[in-house]
């Protein structure tokens, strides 16, 4: 059995829900467009098919698409019999599938830079590196989960947005749900308010599904209810994930995050972003330099292929928004919880101990 298959088997035995994995010589992923009604497993036979799965959001979430970078380069190495030029081209192709989440780009660059030689030697080094990255991502989830859980009190009602969980990460709980899952496993009595997350409904379809599987009490709300819930005292804390954190602490996360952060500040509710050092991009000085993916407006005018607006209506779909650092109480990472001033504290904690 290959090293990468052993890794998968060990983690499946621990009951982890991985979004993508390698098994019996084949790359497989859960089609997240079908959740929560079906857990369809798709076989991925080429890098171009993997690219389509990422851009069509069959697999999504910054951690999970980062992992796709590792699996994708391994697949390219296998299929080209270890041709370094073709492996590099596969990496360039994958990096262009979604522009905002930085994990994918960083993972591809890391693995391609360290791929040595050609042929069997290249395949072996890529596989070892890929397994190292998968293990590291999973360790980050446990570590940031335990730092984040220290912020959670017994009885807390926590709001989250989009899906920052196991199917969007390495298998334990992604980022926000690693914090929530760890707090729950510590025996804290918590209740989660999960925002539906129009238009792709990651919160309703996937976060609610995972919370149900983990046995964590939760309530589904639509995105426009967060202000009401905060003003009525339903929410004690907000914990979200992040697709990219700029070096000044501004962050890109699913569209709607910014309005929740504004409402939280107005009601003195702590707003935390759970992330890992791999999502912090020191090459991006501030949020305004982060490219926000603009998706097809038909994803707003249509739902499940059916129109929900008058024919021909103009629509807009920025897939992410930028939350300025001034609205963020703390950034939870695998190295600890980082607070303002982010410009200096992020570098001090993360860059010094770069992974």
214: number of Cβ within 10 Å: 18
> Strand pairing partners for 303?
306
Report phi then psi at 194, rounded to 5.
-105, 125
Shortest Cβ distance from residue 354 to ligand RUB (Å)? 19
Q: Is 321 a catalytic residue?
A: no
Asked if 254 interacts with ligand RUB (CB under 6 A), we say yes
| Chosen residue from 275, 301, 323, 325 binding ligand RUB by CB under 6 A | 275
Shortest Cβ distance from residue 316 to ligand RUB (Å)? 15
Asked if 323 interacts with ligand RUB (CB under 6 A), we say no
Asked if 171 interacts with ligand RUB (CB under 6 A), we say no
- Of the ranges 10-18, 85-93, 147-155, 241-249, which one interacts with ligand RUB (CB under 6 A)? 241-249
Cβ distance to ligand RUB smaller for residue 110 or 321: 321
Separation CA 207–CA 96 (nearest Å): 27
Separation CA 102–CA 98 (nearest Å): 9
Separation CA 137–CA 276 (nearest Å): 8
Asked if 241 interacts with ligand RUB (CB under 6 A), we say yes
Q: In this structure, are residues 37 and 78 in contact, taking their beta carbons and an 8 Å threshold? A: no
Q: Where are the alpha helices (DSSP H) in 248-302?
A: 257-266, 298-301
Residue count (the chain): 355
Site string for ligand RUB, 41-70 (x = CB under 6 A): -------------------xxxx-------
Separation CA 295–CA 258 (nearest Å): 18
Separation CA 328–CA 272 (nearest Å): 6
Cβ distance to ligand RUB smaller for residue 177 or 235: 177
Matching residue, tokens 């009602």: 157
Shortest Cβ distance from residue 254 to ligand RUB (Å)? 3
Matching residue, tokens 């009190």: 153
Q: Which of 40, 109, 156, 243 is catalytic?
A: 243
Cβ distance to ligand RUB smaller for residue 73 or 245: 245
- Of the ranges 18-26, 113-121, 143-151, 167-175, which one interacts with ligand RUB (CB under 6 A)? 167-175
Q: Which residues bind ligand RUB (CB under 6 A)?
A: 60-63, 162, 164, 168-169, 174-175, 202, 241-243, 253-254, 275, 319
- Catalytic (active-site) positions: 243
């Amino acid at each position: 059995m290959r090293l990468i298959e052993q890794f998968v088997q060990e983690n499946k035995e621990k009951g982890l829900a991985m979004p993508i994995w390698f098994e019996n010589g084949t790359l497989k992923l859960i089609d997240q467009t079908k959740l929560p009604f079906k857990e369809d497993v798709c076989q991925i036979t080429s890098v171009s098919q993997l690219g389509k799965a990422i851009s069509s959001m069959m697999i999504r979430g910054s951690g999970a698409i980062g992992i796709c970078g590792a699996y994708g380069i391994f697949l390219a190495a296998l299929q080209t019999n270890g041709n370094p030029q073709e492996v590099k081209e596969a990496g360039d192709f994958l990096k262009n599938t979604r522009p905002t989440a930085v994990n994918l780009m960083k993972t591809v660059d890391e693995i391609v830079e360290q791929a040595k030689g050609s042929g069997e030697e290249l395949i072996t080094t890529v596989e070892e590196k890929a397994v190292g990255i998968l293990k590291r991502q999973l360790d980050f989830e446990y570590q940031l989960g335990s730092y984040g859980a220290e912020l959670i009190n017994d009885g807390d009602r926590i709001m989250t947005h989009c899906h920052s969980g196991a199917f969007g990460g390495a298998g334990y709980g992604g980022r926000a749900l690693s914090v929530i899952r760890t707090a729950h496993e510590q025996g804290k009595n918590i209740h989660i308010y999960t925002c539906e997350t129009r238009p792709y409904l990651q919160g309703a379809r996937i976060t609610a599904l995972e919370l149900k599987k983990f046995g964590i009490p939760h309530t589904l709300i639509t995105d426009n209810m967060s202000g009401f819930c905060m003003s009525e005292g339903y929410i004690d804390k907000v914990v979200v994930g992040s697709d990219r954190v700029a070096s000044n602490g501004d962050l890109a996360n699913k569209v709607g995050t910014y309005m929740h952060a504004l409402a939280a500040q107005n009601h003195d509710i702590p707003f935390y972003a759970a992330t890992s050092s791999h999502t912090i991009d020191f090459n991006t000085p501030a949020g305004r330099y982060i490219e926000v993916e603009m998706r097809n407006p038909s994803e707003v005018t249509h739902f499940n292929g059916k129109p929900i607006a008058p024919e021909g209506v103009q629509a807009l779909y920025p897939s992410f928004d930028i939350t300025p650092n001034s609205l963020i109480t703390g950034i939870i990472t695998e190295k600890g919880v980082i607070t303002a001033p982010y410009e200096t504290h992020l570098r001090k904690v993360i860059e010094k101990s770069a992974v």
